[in-house]
Structure 1
């Protein structure tokens, strides 16, 4: 496949200032860029909910390393929340990572932002989540809720004896050599746009970081997924479906699951769109990043076209419609 040609065939990408994409097949990489703003595979974009891939991997690895089962109740790992715990006490780490917690989705972005940027802010966000209780029994139905990942980030921090950010760096970012992935705005950052308007760079609340705060690049995202592919035990745990036949989609731990074993996700923040597809059985990953709010359908089409010769599936609608 010629990635550059596939990008140029996407008419809806022609007015996007900057697009960077790439794929890795059995470790062999191809990358390409497009647009009026000069970028490379090393340029950093906000990747929004693709952050959940990193949070999930770091927490599953940490649990494994410490011999803690995924089925451990969250309240046992966050005992400081016990006095305010109104959620189902059987709620497990596996269920929050798999978005099948059944938690009442009442904690919004503004409420979490108001908690500030101190080291204790994330745990306080988690406290608000569990104080709201459950809407339904854990495990019964999938529903996408960032509050699940406020809890996941808090568990990761608690198990690691440090902040969420330090735990993420120590467990996946540093071991995988992801020098361009992090929460601080990098020197090689790409400005976001909404149509003809350049958007100001807004700070991302520290209390929301486990669900969507990272900057990253095409090269680092490919490296991260190659790291997942190299750790088959971790990958198999993450890709195992936690949803049932009555759920609106198939979902593992931080990843949506496609019809032929694909794992996929998209990310959306003002001025940025991101999408990723991983096919473990083909040792394949592809990623596309853009600095334009309207670009997601085209990124989804690009990634679908790239993987279709391998699977025969058109997954553009699924990648675009995912509720990140």
Structure 2
């Protein structure tokens, strides 16, 4: 039986201020399809009942949640249900945190966007050392492995500390050749974002994890967000276990498999709750993490994406920026990022001009795309009626 809890948490995040001043105060009276019992809520509940979704969906307008709905189990073996504060593995949504962290250093004048990687990290082949920070941020550098690959660093399965992961990955990435001429094409790169995290740590003089905790998570007011170790994920009742789909239809707890690493990194593996992601969106778009110019840098698209790069609905234009994807859908602008992998599927969509935010976090790897697309449709409809 699917466990389901729902609440309209109006005012949950009132302390963080309005998402955008232009959105105005108060909660919209439109968008009934986005409220408890509405079309989106029923759709998600139906998918959960069919064991196609497990996790939390949060819809907010003008910084106030109008729908928070949780389904399924965070830990089946202990009978722990997901709730709105359950922290779920964000997968590649982690890149948004890394982009903000690195851009803070750009804002301070400590990193230059068009400076080469070799200005900050040594030991790389000459052609790799020449790729720029901008190219790494936009996935146009050509450094590291292809985005979808089974290629793994030697001995990775034995890494069981932060130091092992950090030193092991950097040593491995220093052995890899450039895959294409930098700037000549777009190719999604996890390794590029690991290098950005390494630049952040080298310039800031602290570990990547400590920098992000102090300069991104803390000022944004995130209380259920962190990079958790595998032992922490297993032990903590507030952290969801991911469930990997099997050809038989069964699902396997990834804490019992090699698919859960000892610790995440700058490109994947931060855990967060839906309310925390709303706080992050509020802080970022409200210019509390970066100044206006750098906020625009991070949240605006730079490189057009084709349908082969990333699934896109007919009539939409998508551009990859700095750890964010900007979607132009008719008159609407949507900014966010998705994440996926064994035992997780996640997405955040921010409608900065209209003040809507939709967070979908699942500890299943079943696609959440149908939920995301319906939510986009319903928000855009609500915007038209406002």
Tell me which interval the TM-score lies in, with the shorter structure as reference length.
Answer: 0.7 to 0.9
Out of 320, 334, 340, the residue aligned to residue 262 of structure 1 is 334
Matched, 1:229 2:285: yes
**TM-score, normalization by structure 1:** 0.84
Relative to structure 1, the CA distance from residue 132 to residue 41 in structure 2 (aligned partners, 3 Å threshold; closer, same or farther) is same
State how far apart, in whole Å, the 1-side matches of 2:337 and 2:305 are: 20
Higher strand share: 2
Question: Is the contact made by 1:178 and 1:224 (CA closer than 8 Å) also made in structure 2?
Answer: yes
8 A Cα contact 1:63 1:69, kept in partner:
yes
2:57 aligned with 1:21? yes
2:187 is equivalent to residue 143 of structure 1 = yes
Match of residue 83, structure 2, among 37, 40, 56: 40
Instruction: Calculate the TM-score normalised by the size of structure 2.
Output: 0.72
Is the deviation greater in 279-288 or in 296-305? 296-305
Does 2:143 match 1:103? yes
1:138 offset after TM fit, Å?
1.4
- Aligned position for 1:122: 166
Contact 1:98 1:242 in 2 (8 A): yes
* Aligned residue number for residue 322 of structure 1: none
Q: Deviations over 1:113-146 (max 9, x none)?
A: 3572342642542343353232222122111011
Cα 1:26–1:78 shift into 2, 3 Å: same
**In structure 2, distance between residues paired with 1:36 and 1:244:** 37
Q: Distance in 2 between matches of 1:129 and 1:158?
A: 16
1:278·1:286 contact (CA, 8 Å) conserved in 2?
A: yes
Summarize the Cα distance change of 1:105–1:302 in structure 2 as closer, same or farther, 3 Å threshold: same
Match of 2:319 among 241, 250, 255: 250
Which of 60, 79, 94 is the equivalent residue of 2:103?
60
- What residue in structure 1 maps to residue 371 of structure 2? 299
Shift of 1:245: 7.7
Q: Paired residue for 1:273?
A: 345
Unaligned runs of 5+ in 1: 313-324
Pick the structure with greater CA Rg: 2
Contact 2:85 / 2:275 at 8 angstroms: preserved in 1?
A: yes
Which runs of 5 or more structure 2 residues have no equivalent in the other structure? 1-30, 74-80, 310-317
**Matched residue SS, 1:23:** strand
Distance 1:208 1:216 in 2: 12
Preserved CA contact (<8 Å) 2:58 2:360: yes
Task: Classify 1:289/1:102 alpha carbon distance in 2 versus 1 (closer, same or farther; 3 Å).
Answer: same
Query: 1:97 deviation in Å?
Result: 1.2
- Determine the structure 2 residue equivalent to 1:220: 276
Query: What secondary structure does 2:358 align onto?
Result: strand
User: Whole-Å Cα distance in 2 between the matches of residues 154 and 161 of structure 1?
Assistant: 10
Counterpart of 1:210 (choices 249, 266, 269) is: 266
Aligned residues: CA RMSD: 2.7
Contact 1:276/1:287 (CA < 8 Å) preserved in 2?
yes
